[in-house]
Structure 1
Amino acid sequence: MSKPDLKAMLEKAYQIGQFLVEKAEESSTFLILTHFDADGLAAGSILAASLIRLNAPFHIRAVNDLNEKLIEDALKIRHEILVFSELGSGYLDVIENKCSTGKTVIIDHHPVVGRADKFPYHINPCSYGFDGSKDISGAGVMYLVAKEMRGDNTDLSVLAVVGALGDTQDRNERRRLDGLNALIVEEASNSGFLKEGIDLILFGRETRPLHKALASTTSPFLPGLSGREDRCLSLLSSANIDLKKGDRWRTVSDLTDEEKRRLISRIVEHLSAEGRELEAARSLIGSVYTLLREEPGTILRDGREYATALNACGRMGKHGLGISACLGDRESILQVEDVLKEYRATLAGYMELIIENRSLTRETKHMVVVRGENSIDERMSGAVSSMLSISGHHDKSKVLLVVTRAEDGSAKVSARIRENLKNSPIDLGKVMYEASARNDGIGGGHKVAAGAKVPIEKLEPFLKDVEDELARCLGK
């Protein structure tokens, strides 16, 4: 990786920002294709908000992944400027074949595959020496561009933070956003939009009764507690923690430091009794991000809850609801909560299914493969693989793959690097790209998180090629 060059990257952000403003002033219509996960919805919404402030007409569509047919269908929508948001850099050859490069903008953070020099309006941190999997998210890159479109777009910084959290760019011991993300956090904090602190990272930190917050926490997944309010009540009671103050249920934010220590101690004891690794308990303490302009007691007040809500909207097929929330619609908050509840129940169900049915899991020398073709919705594959990768349920010295069946009948594979391999020479994006290309598929992604799609009949040879690629990377 080359030496980071923030100055050059900001110059490119300025160039693209000015191009978008120029086209908006010409009354051009924009078509935004954005990824359907939390980072993608946040990124697309940052651009949408910026265009609204410029009175520019636009269409926005959230997509699962890119392929030739999807681009062909999208191009039927009337537009003058096409923007790929939080995707596109890994599909430059496909985009070049279908789109006018001079009227195409690509704002992404995934590794670049193809001739980036063919696209004058393409920005990606990987091209400037930054790591797109931890230094800055797609929403973060979009925010850098948005700042160059209007000086008063700094309020959109919180969406960049939400996008980074949704992309789990806090995967470190402190659970903190670092790199360029930290600069955006600082800007949002200095502008009065955000507050960063250290606390227990339980879902519903300010909004849910203690037992519900503990039961609702699925990242990390706590075996025997996640999804089990009865067991959470019992654990809290054994830790001598009062659940109510008068008639009001207490929340995590109400706990004293001593109560928090007792709670973590009991969770550690629980995991030990279950025969589980203690990694999950350690990741329950870290940086928390509070959105100060959101109403206290709502799911959008905490950055991680906001990100989870967007992931829920995206993966449950409610893209428009998530985008509306990002654009300031607070009347639909109850709908978002309903979708979130369904999403979390679905995710917890998949985790229990995988943990309890060992026949779904196959281990090789370098991989743990979860075969979910007949049991896991393809839209949930990324969320399931991310959760499993930090759960401690499988060998951490092996790469994790979750296989599902895509809508078109092909096999969709979501891959994650485990804890013990994070400093290894394995680049999952390259592994997925090489193995899928040899099996009539398409793949790519970050060093630590990647994916692929291959014809279902090519799944077994694809998995063998992945195993061989991993062995080659490790010199074995």
Structure 2
Amino acid sequence: MGEHPEFFNLINRTADEIQGWIQDNEIIRVASHLDADGLSAGGIISQALYREGGKFHLRIIRQLEKSFIKELADEKRKYYIFIDMGTGQINTLEEYLADNKVIIIDHHKPLNENKSQFLHVNPHFFGIDGVTEISGAGIAYFVAKAMNEQNTDLANLAVVGGIGDRQDKGKYFSLSGLNELIIKDGTNAGILKEERDLRFFGKESRPIHLSLKYTTEPFIPGISGNEENCIRILMSAGIKPKENKKWRTISDLSQDEKVKLNSAIVKFALKKGFDRKEALNLIGTSYTFLNEEKGSVLRDAREFSSLLNACGRMSKGGLGISICMGDKDSFEEALKSLTEYRKKIAEYLNWFQEKDIVQEKKAIYHFHGGKKIIDKMIGTITSIATSSNLIKSDKPLIGIAYIADAENLSKISARGFPELIEKGLDLGKALRDTIKKLKIEGEAGGHNIAAGAQIPTDLENKFLETLDTIIEKQILNKNRNL
């Protein structure tokens, strides 16, 4: 690799280390996150280990908490791999697993310089932005490829991880940075096609009107979640929803039909208050997996990503890993999770836009899911609300939800906008500083533009007030230095 040689030297060292563990014939304990990036990354490492004859046990978790790390320590295993997590919990890992062999494959921003005793693969140590240039799945892919060149067939999973972690911030919503090396591998292997196309959900697998209905990024007023209006749109555009008694998909449309459909949607949505700038976002970069069947959810990167997110958020992370491992028998069950997931998203987003749901402070917008939104979905809704411009981009959005299986514990999901990052916003640091200032038992971590935390429920208001002050100072201090 020509660029970032030190980073890829570490990738090679990590691959060699894992190969050594495999030769030792011991069970390797693997833990990964439940979102699309974590599941993709977990699937990549699992495939790489399996193909080399390695013994491993994978666990998908919501967050790398101290209680889980203590549980792992009590197992007294020799080898551990943490994927898409671990950077923010490095001190706890060193406290409980100091005598073990540990590899951390993560792209979240480190708390400090890399002085860990563990093999810690993180792009930030090499000046590579883990927010936009490479995902957890992307790093996992480079490790797998270094273990065996034949693992280039896992490039598509790395693309799914990048899309799932919202790294499509390049021109026309494309992946950039080190992600481009992965796209090149997939393209050269004949399993990936990159092109500009309409950005509607389910363009490969769903009837056109349902594709429009379940599109939430961007959220289209009067269309997202409204099947009747979606059918009217097709009629007004003169597009036949069926051909030879078979439902057509977006991918079945000619270029001329796609132009007509896009024009009809924009015309309708503008009357419903759709932002003109947002209308440009209906067209973007598409990633098609040529090794998957036409009409399959797995053929489109964004659909695949949404499928994995659905599995993780609906408490079926193991099902998502099975899909990543190529288990077609799990597909139907996963599709049911996806359908339920999309219905919930549309329902939650319509609720989000009701009056007085979103509250405002000096430096933040915030809302509480209450009894409406579960903790595993609050991050998804907060992300879509910001990426679809359902709120103004002058302040970050903070979402709060009660954690279902815990007493007096709430989940915090924070999302910002690129223009706020340029003004000095760092949500990961802001959440950590808030917890530290309040001296509360809580956990926080993430990126500058997207971060999360867990806090005691009875401290929610105090947390928001303190966070508001800290974020206000972040932006003010940056402005003073300009």
TM-score computed with the length of structure 2 as normaliser = 0.94
In terms of mean alpha carbon deviation, does 159-168 or 275-284 score higher? 275-284
Q: Quick check: 1:233 aligned with 2:231?
A: yes
Matched residue type, 2:402: R
| Equivalence map 1:11-50=2 (5 Å) | 11-50=9-48
User: Of residues 102, 114, 117 in structure 2, which corresponds to 1:116?
Assistant: 114
In terms of mean alpha carbon deviation, does 218-227 or 229-238 score higher? 218-227
Counterpart position of 1:413: 412
How far apart are the structure 1 equivalents of 2:218 and 2:57?
36
Q: Quick check: 1:424 aligned with 2:423?
A: yes
User: Of residues 388, 391, 404 in structure 2, which corresponds to 1:391?
Assistant: 388
Matched residue type, 1:361: V
Give the C-alpha shift of residue 165 in structure 1: 0.7
Secondary structure in 1 aligned to 2:422? coil
Q: Quick check: 1:149 aligned with 2:150?
A: no
How far apart are the structure 1 equivalents of 2:17 and 2:249?
47
CA offsets, 1:292-348, max 9 Å, x none? 111111110111111100000000001111000000101221111111001111111
How far apart are the structure 2 equivalents of 1:443 and 1:391?
25
Give the C-alpha shift of residue 85 in structure 1: 0.5
Give the C-alpha shift of residue 270 in structure 1: 2.3
Give the C-alpha shift of residue 373 in structure 1: 3.2
Secondary structure in 1 aligned to 2:304? helix
Counterpart position of 1:453: 454
Q: Quick check: 1:435 aligned with 2:434?
A: yes
Percent identity over the alignment is: 36
Aligned residues of 1:37 and 1:314 also touching (Cα < 8 A): yes
Give the C-alpha shift of residue 78 in structure 1: 5.8
Counterpart position of 1:365: 362
| Equivalence map 1:185-334=2 (5 Å) | 185-334=183-332
How far apart are the structure 2 equivalents of 1:390 and 1:134?
15
Secondary structure in 2 aligned to 1:187? helix
Secondary structure in 1 aligned to 2:149? coil
Matched residue type, 1:380: M
CA offsets, 1:412-434, max 9 Å, x none? 11111135424321111111111
Distance 1:275 1:101, change over 3 A: farther
How far apart are the structure 2 equivalents of 1:382 and 1:101?
35
Aligned residues of 2:399 and 2:413 also touching (Cα < 8 A): yes
In structure 2, stretches of 5+ residues that fail to align are: 478-482
Counterpart position of 2:480: none
How far apart are the structure 2 equivalents of 1:215 and 1:48?
35
Secondary structure in 2 aligned to 1:44? helix
Aligned residues of 1:239 and 1:262 also touching (Cα < 8 A): yes
How far apart are the structure 2 equivalents of 1:424 and 1:123?
29
Aligned residues of 1:276 and 1:393 also touching (Cα < 8 A): no
How far apart are the structure 1 equivalents of 2:331 and 2:434?
42
Matched residue type, 1:79: R
In structure 1, stretches of 5+ residues that fail to align are: none
How far apart are the structure 1 equivalents of 2:368 and 2:319?
31
Aligned residues of 2:113 and 2:125 also touching (Cα < 8 A): no
Q: How many residues align?
A: 472
TM-score computed with the length of structure 1 as normaliser = 0.95
CA offsets, 1:5-32, max 9 Å, x none? 6110000011111000001011021111
Aligned residues of 1:173 and 1:283 also touching (Cα < 8 A): no
Matched residue type, 1:231: N
Counterpart position of 2:465: 464
Give the C-alpha shift of residue 114 in structure 1: 4.7
How far apart are the structure 2 equivalents of 1:201 and 1:359?
30
Secondary structure in 2 aligned to 1:207? coil
How far apart are the structure 2 equivalents of 1:233 and 1:337?
23
CA offsets, 1:341-365, max 9 Å, x none? 0111111111111112x23211112
CA offsets, 1:128-180, max 9 Å, x none? 10111110000001111111212211111111111001111003441100000
RMSD of the alignment, in Å? Answer: 1.7
CA offsets, 1:69-98, max 9 Å, x none? 121123344632111111010111111111
How far apart are the structure 2 equivalents of 1:171 and 1:77?
41
Aligned residues of 1:411 and 1:454 also touching (Cα < 8 A): yes
Aligned residues of 1:427 and 1:446 also touching (Cα < 8 A): yes
| Equivalence map 1:134-145=2 (5 Å) | 134-145=132-143
Matched residue type, 2:22: A
Counterpart position of 2:60: 62
Counterpart position of 1:380: 377
Give the C-alpha shift of residue 277 in structure 1: 1.9
CA offsets, 1:24-77, max 9 Å, x none? 011021111100000000101111111111111111111111221121123344
